[in-house]
Amino acid sequence: MSLDFAFMKSSFFLAAGAVPLTLFITAMTLLASLPLAFIIAVARSGQKGKVLNLIFSLYVSAVRGTPIIVQILIIYTMLPDLLKFLIEKLGLPFDVYAINNVFYAILIFSFSSIAFLSEVFRAGLRAVGRSQYEAALAAGLSGFRAYTRIIAPQAVSAVLPVLCTSVNNLIKMTSLCFAIAVNEITGVVRVAASRNLHFVEGFLIIAAIYVLICLTVEWGFKILENKVRAHKVSA
Amino acid sequence: MLELSGVGKSFGKNEILRDVNLKVAAGDVIAILGPSGSGKTTLLRCINFLEIADQGTMVLEDRTIQLPRAKKSEVAFVRQKTSFVFQNYNLFNNKTALENVTEGLIYGRKIPAKTAKEIGRKALEKVGMADRSDFYPSQLSGGQQQRVGIARAIAGNPDVILFDEPTSALDPELIGEVLSIMKKLAQEGTTMIVVTHEMSFAQSVATKAIFMDGGVILEEGEPHEFFVRPRHERTKQFLRSILYEMEYTI
């Protein structure tokens, strides 16, 4: 077997050109998911709101129990019709079919990331424990301040390693966008490779690019971890 | 200054406190003694609303507060006027010693950061921790952490400080450093309610000793009286077992 190095080179640049879109989808998904996931984690950690708790736990189970590709297919086939129906009902001057598929991608990945990340944060909140919260209340902090100043920083720093894995998983997950014709890394190279049937070269390049991105993310998280290590219990 | 009446609290079917009445005057150092499970800690936690009592009222300064239905503003008021020293220190792990003290000042009492830092430094100095102000809790010994915990409690200049077994989690050789600070505070006229198993502290520092068992106050009195001539049979029994233990360890 011989590799077509010229094609590898050209598909490397092709893939590199699609990296910004992959990162954009990842970043937007994180922007939407991280705060919502944290709020759900806090809600599920509390004693109150049993009904809400049940809804969230069903949601998490549903997301965890279905393959992401199935979620993509379901949401992508259902959502446009649903949106169309809503838009027509409300009489908005808006064309559903003009919505970019990138938007759907972000929506789908957020849908699953919120569930995963809420479990990550829930673990973090458990690690912090109730005594820190009580100490904050006794010091006169409001419940909100107790969470933002004392609980959240500790919970997040406790789960940084898991968060790193989650972010990397999300980046790799975006490769499934090719299923809905989004031109991110996997999509563009796959199309190019199908023209001259040099799939092996194309896929090797894709793999290399994902490894590079994920290594960079890992390196970033290492720096973050070192920054917060000072207050971690040195066991 | 602080008066509790008719405080009751149950966890499920378990009655932890029953009709507890307590009067605290400025400068009082009240030692609460009793076997574990007698409700001492719960009583302390009910004062600071870390636990919500089922019955009872609290008079603090000029306000009368219904413990089971305290408004948010009333809870905030009580927490401004009291502070809590925890058995396991409960320092904020993500904050330095100084930040542990200033956090409540800045975000609880709305004191400007600069002033809060000055107050914080003074408080740390008072407990002999000024040279550790930039250390994180994980870098401090238990005794040092509890001293920072006390600094955090005195910094807001509260009416009364609640101590929940402040030395129970400490290694024996570290207990002294914490007790001596508490003694100093008492001598300066700080009002304190101390749940403790340190009998010698209760005897020598407290102005009043209280004995609790089964969720009620069985006996209260001037410490000397209390230790030398306990009236209640249960108190005698408790003191005997404690004193026996002390002799035994010596």
DSSP secondary structure string for all residues of B13-74: TEEEEEEEEEEE-TT-EEEEE--TTSSHHHHHHHHTTSS--SEEEEEETTEEEEGGG--HHH
Q: Give the per-residue pLDDT at A181.
A: 84
Q: What single letter denotes the amino acid at residue A4?
A: D
Nearest to A68 by CA among A31, A29, A105: A105
CA of B210 to nearest chain A CA: how many angstroms apart?
24
Interface test with A, best of B93, B101, B105 (most A CBs within 10 A): B93
CB A232 to CB B86 under 8 A? no
- At CB < 8 Å, which residues of chain B contact A? 48-50, 76, 79-80, 83-84, 86, 88, 90-95, 103-104, 107-109, 136-139, 152, 156
Tens digits of residue pLDDT in A20-64: 999 999 999 999 999 999 999 998 887 666 888 889 989 999 999
pTM of the full predicted structure?
0.84
Q: Give the per-residue pLDDT at A235.
A: 37
Nearest to A24 by CA among A163, A179, A134, A183: A183
Predicted confidence band at A111 (pLDDT cuts at 50, 70, 90)?
very high
Say what the ipTM of the complex is.
0.91
Q: Give the per-residue pLDDT at B250.
A: 47
Interface test with B, best of A48, A128, A141 (most B CBs within 10 A): A141
In CATH, the number for domain A5-234 is 1.10.3720.10
Count chain A–chain B contacts defined by CB atoms under 8 A.
72
Q: Give the per-residue pLDDT at A234.
A: 45
CB B92 to CB A157 under 8 A? no
CA A15 to chain CA centroid, nearest Å:
21
Facing A153 at nearest CB: one of B83, B94, B152:
B94
List, for chain B, all residue ranges whose pLDDT scores fall below the cut of 70: 244-250
Tens digits of residue pLDDT in A114-171: 999 999 999 999 999 899 999 999 999 999 999 999 999 999 999 999 999 999 999 9
Give CA–CA dist A171/A155, Å, rounded: 23
Q: Give the per-residue pLDDT at B247.
A: 57
**C-beta of residue A112 within 8 angstroms of C-beta of residue A68:** yes
Q: Which residues of B touch A131 (CB under 8 A)?
A: 86, 88, 90
Domain boundaries, chain A: 5-234
Instruction: Give the residue, A61 or A229, on which the prediction is more confident.
Output: A61
Interface test with B, best of A47, A137, A154 (most B CBs within 10 A): A137
